[in-house]
Amino acid sequence: MAALSSTSATLSSRVSFHCGGGSHTSSSSSTNNNNTANNILRPTKQSSFGMSSLILRFPPNFVRQLSNKARRNCSNIGVAQIVAASWSDKQGQSSFSAAESKALNASASAAAGITAPQTGEDASCENGTVNGINGSVQKIDDNVYRPAFLKDDGSIAIHAGERLGRGIVTDAITTPVVNTSAYFFKKTADLLDFKEKRAISFEYGRYGNPTTVVAEEKISALEGAESTLLLASGMCASIVMMLALVPEGGHIITTTDCYRKTRIFIETVLPKMGITATVIDPADYAGLEAALVNHKVSLFFTESPTNPFLRCVDIELVSKLCHAHGAVVCIDGTFATPLNQKALALGADIVLHSATKYIGGHNDVLAGCVSGSMEIVSQIRNLHHVLGGALNPNAAYLIIRGMKTLKLRVQQQNSTAQRMAEVLEAHPKVKHVYYPGLKSHPEHHIAKKQMIGYGGVVSFEVNGDLETTIKFVDSLKIPYIAPSFGGVESIVDQPAIMSYWDLSQSERAKYGIMDNLVRFSFGVEDFEDLKADVLQALEAI
């Protein structure tokens, strides 16, 4: 290691490394032997500053020429580059002497513990031909390699670096985005093994993606589920779930307070398939039992907490009642998040989320997910494969990234919402506050039993009419006036305008949506800043 340190010091003072025209060192590992490396790496001529600037030009299949041992051991970038070549320059003399070059290679190789691969190891490079994966790569000149069976540049542009196998990045900290619409099989026998279920593989982008699978497994782990399916949006997840689990002529039970688009689907689309619905108050357990007795119920579906009044159902009780009559229970836990509430552990069969909200958490992605047993999720997955609505792998990457800070975000949002709900409830210009963390909430006792935190959304009614409420909203400086919730940025809206403006005032009132209702989604801004902003906006009305 002393020799390596000395070598590194020499390098740092005499050489600047470049790879592919960039200004940073390459992360490639060592070559198999020095002769091979001489054909791969070319130092540039003396620079105007009197320094030798070595430009490392690695062919596309360079990594595949390395032995497994070299890849494992050569974690130091500088060492990898030293071992990669004995420095020589046919265009001009290198600034290293022969003795220095020999010392560099010898000391680096010893430090990395690298030996040339034996027969049968990854690849050999002799006489300009690299025996690679699934074929051969022909060396055209000192720096260019191409698949031997490809002659035309157009074909090379399509297949070089990929068709003969490629590096699979398994040690990257972040999950790679796999942007592909289809997956290939190396031979028909592999395809037959897959079709006859002797092997597992990806096949078509609508049926699955490696990046998406990582996000699904992360959600399953949080929910304690056997399986999770990610779809293009929360509504897509809800619709595919209902269509998969409710047969023609079936019956659904749902609750009065819910996302409006879900209600529209249940009231206008499902009847075309002969599917009927009973709508009950979230606390009407007698009504639930009556509907279970009077109908052949396939599914009980509700949000908990609900949108926008944050009503809560007793998930344990509802699950027992429904299971006694053979009905499946699905809880939309979007407002709760997988951290604040474990619906499956409480007895539900499925938990659904609009991952657009807290799971993604940055107001930059659309996604929905369903989690539950392998048996039930497989039914939903099979229909999903027919209908489409697949999540883009770039969106899956954003979900993965967002989930890494889920706990930090939700803890802050729980705390801010609870404290702001208490501030609002005590304010003379606020008529009523809806938040399950308050003792005044009708289902506070249920929320306290089944939730760890109460979420980041607070709904409330100000003292005033539509115009007064508009003035309050417009006086706020921090939150955006927008739909959605659960992101790092605070968002505020008037449901009467944002979601129900197409209905008359009296029609809105049937759903409890009054003109003075405000839904406030608290982000991760500082509590004192948010409090000051809300108070000054209230003073403005």
Query: Side chain identity at 310, as an amino acid letter?
Result: L
Catalytic residue among 42, 64, 357, 519: 357
Q: What angle do CA 97, 101, 107 make, to 5 degrees?
A: 140
Q: Is 146 considered catalytic here?
A: no
Domain edge (last residue) among 389, 404, 419: 404
> For residue 308, is the peptide bond before it cis, meaning its omega torsion is within 30 degrees of 0?
yes
Q: Is 332 considered catalytic here?
A: yes
Distance CA 201, CA 187 (A): 13
Distance CA 253, CA 313 (A): 13
Question: What is the domain-level CATH number for residue 285?
Answer: 3.40.640.10
Catalytic residue among 332, 349, 493, 515: 332
Please state whether beta strands 297-303 and 251-255 pair in parallel, antiparallel, or not at all (unpaired). Answer: parallel
Residue listed under structure tokens 């489409």: 388
- Residue 57 pLDDT: 43
Question: What is the domain-level CATH number for residue 510?
Answer: 3.90.1150.10
Q: Are the C-beta atoms of 317 and 288 separated by less than 8 Å?
A: no
What is the tens place of the pLDDT at every residue in 100-149?
444 444 444 443 343 443 433 343 344 434 333 344 555 555 555 567 78
**116 inside domain:** no
Exposure b/e, 169-184, CB count within 10 A at least 16 = b: eeeeeebebbeeeebe
* Domain hosting residue 212, numbered range: 153-404
Q: Are the C-beta atoms of 145 and 59 separated by less than 8 Å?
A: yes
* pLDDT tens digits in sequence order for the chain, 541 residues long: 444 444 444 444 333 333 333 334 333 344 344 443 334 333 443 433 333 334 444 444 444 444 443 444 433 333 333 333 333 333 334 444 444 444 444 444 443 343 443 433 343 344 434 333 344 555 555 555 567 788 877 787 777 776 766 676 778 888 999 999 999 999 999 999 999 999 999 999 999 999 999 999 999 999 999 999 999 999 999 999 999 999 999 999 999 999 999 999 999 999 999 999 999 999 999 999 999 999 999 999 999 999 999 999 999 999 999 999 999 999 999 999 999 999 999 999 999 999 999 999 999 999 999 999 999 999 999 999 999 999 999 999 999 999 999 999 999 999 999 999 999 999 999 999 999 999 999 999 999 999 999 999 999 999 999 999 999 999 999 999 999 999 999 999 999 999 999 999 999 999 999 999 999 999 999 999 999 999 999 999 9
Domain edge (last residue) among 379, 404, 429: 404
32 secondary structure, DSSP code: S
Task: Count other Cβ atoms within 10 Å, centred on residue 21.
Answer: 7
CA dihedral 304, 400, 452, 342 (to 10 degrees): 60
Q: List strand residue ranges (DSSP E) for 396-498, in order.
A: 430-434, 457-462, 480-481, 491-493
Q: What's the predicted TM-score (pTM) here?
A: 0.73
Distance CA 360, CA 288 (A): 33
Distance CA 130, CA 62 (A): 10
Which helix (H) or strand (E) covers residue 384, if one does? helix 374-387
Q: Angle between the 285-294 and 315-323 helix axes, to the nearest 10 degrees? A: 20
**293 inside domain:** yes
Residue listed under structure tokens 């959304």: 457
Are residues 332 and 416 part of one domain?
no
Q: What angle do CA 517, 302, 218 make, to 5 degrees?
A: 105
Domain edge (last residue) among 404, 436, 467: 404
Are residues 277 and 395 part of one domain?
yes
Alpha-carbon distances, residue 83 vs 71, 90, 121, 330 (angstroms): 12, 19, 18, 59
- Residue 143 pLDDT: 52
> For residue 271, is the peptide bond before it cis, meaning its omega torsion is within 30 degrees of 0?
no
Are residues 392 and 526 part of one domain?
no
- Which of 6, 18, 129, 161 is closest to 81 using CA atoms? 18
How many domains does the structure of the chain reveal? 2
Alpha-carbon distances, residue 329 vs 346, 371, 457 (angstroms): 11, 12, 24
- Residue 93 pLDDT: 42
Distance CA 158, CA 147 (A): 11
Are residues 506 and 420 part of one domain?
yes
What is the tens place of the pLDDT at every residue in 434-491?
999 999 999 999 999 999 999 999 999 999 999 999 999 999 999 999 999 999 999 9
Are residues 214 and 300 part of one domain?
yes
Distance CA 501, CA 499 (A): 6
Are residues 318 and 234 part of one domain?
yes
Are residues 444 and 326 part of one domain?
no
Q: Is 357 considered catalytic here?
A: yes
Are residues 393 and 421 part of one domain?
no
Catalytic residue among 57, 89, 190, 206: 206
Are residues 378 and 419 part of one domain?
no
Are residues 460 and 385 part of one domain?
no
Task: Count other Cβ atoms within 10 Å, centred on residue 115.
Answer: 13
Residue 482 CA from chain centroid, whole number: 23
- Residue 144 pLDDT: 52
15-19: strand order across its sheet: 15-19, 52-56, 42-46
Q: Is 358 considered catalytic here?
A: no
Which helix (H) or strand (E) covers residue 399, if one does? helix 393-403
Catalytic residue among 71, 122, 259, 500: 259
